[in-house]
Each structure stands twice: as C-alpha cells, then as structure tokens.
Chains A and B, each alone.
Chain A
Amino acid sequence: MNEPILRVIKRESMSFKGKLLVRAVSLILALLVCGIVITLITGYNPITVYVTMAQGAFGTKTRAWSTIKEMLMLSCIAIGLAPAFKMKFWNVGAEGQILIGGIVSAGCMIYLSNIGNAGLFVLMCILSALAGSLWAFLPALFKAKFNTNETLFTLMMNYVAIQLTSYFVAKWENPVGSNTVGVINQSGHEGWFPKIFGTQYFISLIMVIILAVFMHIYLRYTKHGYEIAVVGESENTARYAGISVPKVVIRTVLLSGAICGVAGFMAVAGASHTISTSTAGGRGFTAIIVAWLAKFDSATMLLISLLLAFLNSGSSEIASKCHLNDYASKIVIGIILFFILGSEFFINYKLVRGKKGEKK
C-alpha cells in the first residue's frame, strides 16, 4: 500500500498553552468568518460589526444584565448536564427537564401565592428540582436496566414535555383565549426573585456560582465524581472495581435532571414570570454544546456561556439596526461552534508526515 502524505496520530496530551493556542486560533478564525458573513449581508465593515455587537450586549446596564441572564441560564443547564456527559450518558433531554421544572414553578406561583414569599421560594426550588429529576429518571432507569438508548429516549421526553407545557398553557391561559399564560402575579410579585442591587438576576447569579463551585468540587474531589469518571471511561473497568454501574447511572442522572429543573425554576421565577413552550427556547440543546466544549469544567462553561450570550445579544442588535431578523444570531453561533468543534481535533490528534516505522 502506498504511504499517505499525512498521517493522523493520537496525541498523548497537549500542554495547557497549546490547548489555549488552538482554541484562540479557532475562535479568531470563527470571528473572522462571521465578520465576513455579516459584512456580506449588511454591508458594514467587520470592525463596526463587532463594536455594534459589543454595544448591543453590554452598552447599557439593562442590556448587560440581559446578556448576563442569558449566560446564567446557559451555564446553569450546562452545569446540570456535565456530570451526565462525563459519565457518557447523553442527556439531550435538558429542554424537557427545564420545561417540567418551569411548569412546576409556574404552578406553585399560581396556586400557592398565599403561603409567603420565603416559603414559596424554597418550595418552588425543591419541587422543580424534583420534577426535573423525575423527568430524567425514566431514561436513566431504562438505560441502567435494559441499556435503552438514552440519546433517543431523552430526545423524545423533550417533546412529551413540550406538549405537556402546551396543555398547562391552555389550562392557565390568562386572559382566556389568548393561549398564553401572561405574567403571573403581576401585582403582588409572589414567587418572583426579589431585586437585589437593583436587579432580579442577582439571585440567579449567586445560584449559578454556588452550583458551579459545587459541581467543580463534586466532579473533581468526591467519591461520586470519581465513580462518574470511571463509568464514563469504561463500564467494564467500573464493574471490575466493584462500582455498581446502574446505581451510579441513576444517581448521576437524577442530579443532572434536578439542576436542569432548577434552571426551569430560574427561567420562570427569576426572569420571564410566565411559562410557554419557548421557556427553554433551545437552550437545552445549546447547553449540551457548552458542556461538551468545556470538557465539564465549571469555569470554562461559564466562559463559553458568556461568549454565546454575547453573540446572541450582539447579533440581535445588528439585526435590529439593519432591519434584519433575529435569526442572524443563530447563524453566527452555528459558525462559531463549527469552528470550535473542528479545532478539538488538533488538540486530540496531530498530523505527521507518513514515515514507515516511525511510531505505532
């Protein structure tokens, strides 16, 4: 057989500097391509484009907080997904778990508005976490018992959850006939996150920081985290080591679902104060990419979420300035993610000139 000119070889490991360099280069390339695409569509020069984006994302206090809100949602979901993914359990059901958490929160706000704010807050948080867990429990149980494909199972659960949301939207619609729930507890703000330092997102910020630190410690420094890593690397190794794989799978996925449920609570009680089928809004899918790219590291997840939130609000700003529609941001995000995903290759593999007998 003739030797190929270039050969792919798996890297042992790459230095932190090297990884940083690869990622930075891919990001810069991606931003260049996006700049060119936007310039072609709008006719602006790329630098104006990015200045406008920065203004759109952080130009005023309100805008900055709304970008941060988006970032918090994404990172909260990504933090929830991280343990499941590290175990190689493909929970693509975050979308559904968020919605279920959201439904429960909205339900509490509607039916239990008279029990006092502190109690309501705690109750909503716990119940939405339980609801998210429950939604994740079924796929986990069948995965553990019958090795049912969890990617497909959780994907289907999303759509069951969406229909369930439509059902509750129709049930709680206000005013009748509008097919939207409207802002819940507009007058008394029962169940709303209170404003601290002039913003209702401050509590979300604290919650996400706590979750991020917790997940960092949980995955790196606890026995549970170690078991997750072993099961993720090889189920057989885990079995030889006496780890009960079904137990670890179910426990981890319950945790994952619970955090996604809390994300639904944050979205409903801490931001929109309503529930609709777009409460999750595709973030459950975007967060999968965040968690994966960050290799489940909490700080990196926060950074990537920030980047995506920035692109999101920045592109919306450009779109509205040029009378284009909002979907421009999805194109930009898609392109950037393609580049970052592709760049992973250069971290895990290297290309060498094909020489016989060089290295096996």
Chain B
Amino acid sequence: MNSFITLFQAAVAFGTVILFGCVGEILTERAGNLNLGVPGIMYLGGIASLASVFIYEGSTDSPSGIVCVIIAMVSAFIASALGGLIYAFLTITLKANQNVCGLTLTIFGGGVANFFGGSLNTLAGRFESVSVPATSAAFRQTLPGISGAGIVGKLFFSYGFMVYFAIAVAVIVHVFLHHTRRGLNLRTVGESPQTADAAGINVDKNKYLAICIGAGISGFGGVYYVMDYIKGTWANDGSIEKLGWLAVALVIFTTWKASHAIWGSYLFGLLYWMYYYIPGLTRRSQELFKMLPYAVTLLVLIVNSMKSSRDKQPPHSLGLAYFREER
C-alpha cells in the first residue's frame, strides 16, 4: 500500500508538469497551430521564475512566500507568452513554417534557460547550485492538517497548490473551448480559417491570443518543475525538454481535449514511474519500461487514425498557415 501511495504521488507530481504543457498546447493547436516549441517555452517559464525570485530572495532578508509565488508566476507567464509571441509573429504574420519555427523556439528557449541557469549556478558558488528556499517552500506548502491524514489525505491533499491549479486551468480551458461562443470561434479557426474568416471571426487575433496564452500556460509547467519538482534548483540535464515533448505527446493522447488531459497526464506519470516499483527489473529493462508513455501515445495515434472518427482527429487546419487570398 505504501509503495502504491508513493507511486501515485510521483505520478501526480510528474503529471502536473506535463499537464500544464499539454493544456497550453491544446489551446494552441485548437487554433490550428502546431507549436513544437513547448519544451522551449517550458524552459523559458522555468528559468524566468527561478531568476526573478533568485533576485528577489537575494534582495531581502525575509522573503514573503506569497510575494515569491506571485513574482515567479507572473514572470514565468510573461516570459513564456513572449516566447509564444515570437512563434506567433513568425507563423501568423510572416507565414513561416510552423514546425520549423517551433523547433527553433525549442532550441532558443533551451539555450536561454540553460545558459542563465548555468550562470546562476556559477553565481551561487563553485560547488553549490542555485537555490531559492523561500519560494520553493511556498510552492511546496501543503494544506496543514489534512495532508498527512490517512490514505485519502496522502493521495489527494499532499501536494503544493500548483497541482490543483493545473486541474483548474485544464477545466477552464475545457469549458472555454467547448461551452463558450469564443471557444467555438477559436475551434473554427483551427478547423477552417476560411470559414471563420467568412463568418467575420478575426482569424489572426484569435490565433495570436490562443498561442500567447497557451504558451503562458505551458510555461507554468516549467515553474512547477523548477520550484516544486526539483525544489527550487537548476540542473542543465535536459529533463525539461524531455517533459516538454511528453506534453506534446499527451496532446495527441487526449485527442485535443483538455478534460482528458487531467487523467491522461497522471496516467503518463504512472507509466513513467512504474519501472521503479516493479520488482526484479534490471537497470537495462527499466530503460525499456520508460518507453511506455511514448509507445502508448503511438498506439492511440494509430488507432484513432484507423478509426477515423471525426471528433478524435487533429484540428483540420493544424500546421497550415492562413492567407486570405489563397484558397
């Protein structure tokens, strides 16, 4: 039972990182833009939050937890949304190829983050890595009393606020996309920008907003990873990039539905960490086990394309630039 609880907790923590990334990307892809810059955006979010609170914590003797959290979240959102804005400008206004721009954003974001992350580590001292204890503590603060109480408490209430925030964001995005007029407009832009344009929907504005806000949400995944998952430190080990690609995979797995992303992300976490709890695995076979999330995604992708049921397909104009005069 105990190992199940730790597995569950590990899965939720892992899942929360990619849940943010995935929900942001769902919003983006629903607008018809395949943004392969998610890893880069998560990098930008992570480093922006870390650098800004590092400065704040260094400037005051008694950093306040709430201020730390606000600074981290706001700076991460701005940095990630700016990353999204570069991508949006290139793909919408300049009509450049989406795949290529996204990949460039991943290279750029990873470069910026690891460059400054590494430099922060150097600043922090030769053998130490950067750390922001006050902020990390604020992010990891659980509900007092209830979190340690019994199995239910441990399973559902033993996490920092970002875990619940991620679920809330996913629900909001789901409601927005499927139960509001603006959400319908946005989905129309992703399915058929020509139709949307003819119906008087401003295609470019919708795309810009979806991409920038989507990027901001994805960036929170980086914040959660840096502040909670690795406890307010930085490591140049490329793990954010891996998680970013998993978030892209999760979008496919959920068939572009934010509501499915909630359980899907935890399932990915479960699949990812399962090797740790299966007895008798050698280090070699563990590596094979870590394929599971990707293999499952591939399976879902294949099965859905074979069934060709309409609500499980990618947005119809995903990946295509829209130019009004070209039909």
A327 contacts B325, CB within 8 Å? no
> Does B142 sit within 8 A of A, measured CB to CB?
no
B111 contacts A338, CB within 8 Å? no
Segment of B112-120, B191-199, B223-231 in the binding face? B112-120
Segment of A61-69, A207-215, A285-293 in the binding face? A285-293
Residues of A near B118 (CB, < 8 A) are 324-325, 327
A333 contacts B291, CB within 8 Å? no
Tell whether A324 pairs with B119 under 8 Å between CB atoms, given A160-B295, A163-B288. yes
Q: What residue of chain A has the Cβ atom nearest to residue B319's Cβ?
A: A151
Residues of A near B326 (CB, < 8 A) are 10
Q: How many residues of B contact A (CB 8 A)?
A: 57
> Does A90 sit within 8 A of B, measured CB to CB?
yes
Segment of A142-150, A185-193, A246-254 in the binding face? A142-150
Docked CA distance A146–B115 (Å): 43
B236 contacts A142, CB within 8 Å? no
Within 8 A of B (CB), among A89-146: 90, 92, 142, 146
> Does A337 sit within 8 A of B, measured CB to CB?
yes
Docked CA distance A330–B118 (Å): 13
Chain B interface, DSSP helix/strand/loop, else mixed: helix
A9 contacts B325, CB within 8 Å? yes
Q: What residue of chain B has the Cβ atom nearest to residue A90's Cβ?
A: B99
A156 contacts B249, CB within 8 Å? yes
B108 contacts A334, CB within 8 Å? yes
B288 CB to nearest chain A CB (Å): 5
Residues of B near A233 (CB, < 8 A) are none
A153 contacts B90, CB within 8 Å? no
Segment of B70-78, B174-182, B300-308 in the binding face? B300-308
Q: What residue of chain B has the Cβ atom nearest to residue A148's Cβ?
A: B305
> Does A226 sit within 8 A of B, measured CB to CB?
no
> Does B122 sit within 8 A of A, measured CB to CB?
yes
Docked CA distance A142–B298 (Å): 11
Docked CA distance A10–B95 (Å): 11
B318 CB to nearest chain A CB (Å): 8
B288 contacts A167, CB within 8 Å? yes
B103 contacts A159, CB within 8 Å? no
Residues of B near A171 (CB, < 8 A) are 284
Docked CA distance A147–B297 (Å): 16
Residues of B near A348 (CB, < 8 A) are 95
Q: What residue of chain B has the Cβ atom nearest to residue A179's Cβ?
A: B283
> Does B159 sit within 8 A of A, measured CB to CB?
no
B226 CB to nearest chain A CB (Å): 16
A10 contacts B94, CB within 8 Å? no
Interface residue tally on A, bucketed by range: 35 or more
> Does A238 sit within 8 A of B, measured CB to CB?
no
> Does B290 sit within 8 A of A, measured CB to CB?
yes
A288 contacts B236, CB within 8 Å? no
B252 contacts A152, CB within 8 Å? yes
A342 contacts B94, CB within 8 Å? yes
> Does B32 sit within 8 A of A, measured CB to CB?
no
Residues of B near A357 (CB, < 8 A) are none
Beta-carbon contacts of B18-48 to A below 8 Å, as 1s and 0s?
Answer: 0000000000000000101000000000000
Beta-carbon contacts of A1-20 to B below 8 Å, as 1s and 0s?
Answer: 00000001110000000000
Beta-carbon contacts of A303-345 to B below 8 Å, as 1s and 0s?
Answer: 0000000000000000000011101111111110110011011
B104 contacts A327, CB within 8 Å? no
Docked CA distance A348–B122 (Å): 45
> Does B314 sit within 8 A of A, measured CB to CB?
yes
Docked CA distance A311–B122 (Å): 24
> Does B96 sit within 8 A of A, measured CB to CB?
yes
Docked CA distance A337–B100 (Å): 9
Report which B residues bind A (CB closer than 8 A).
34, 36, 86, 89-90, 93-97, 99-101, 103-112, 114-115, 118-119, 122, 236, 242, 245-246, 248-249, 252, 282-285, 287-288, 290-291, 294-295, 297-298, 301-302, 305-306, 308, 314, 319, 323, 325-326
17 of the cross-chain contacts (CB-CB < 8 Å) are A153-B301, A153-B302, A155-B36, A155-B249, A159-B242, A164-B287, A166-B287, A170-B283, A289-B100, A324-B118, A327-B110, A327-B112, A327-B236, A330-B114, A330-B115, A334-B104, A342-B94
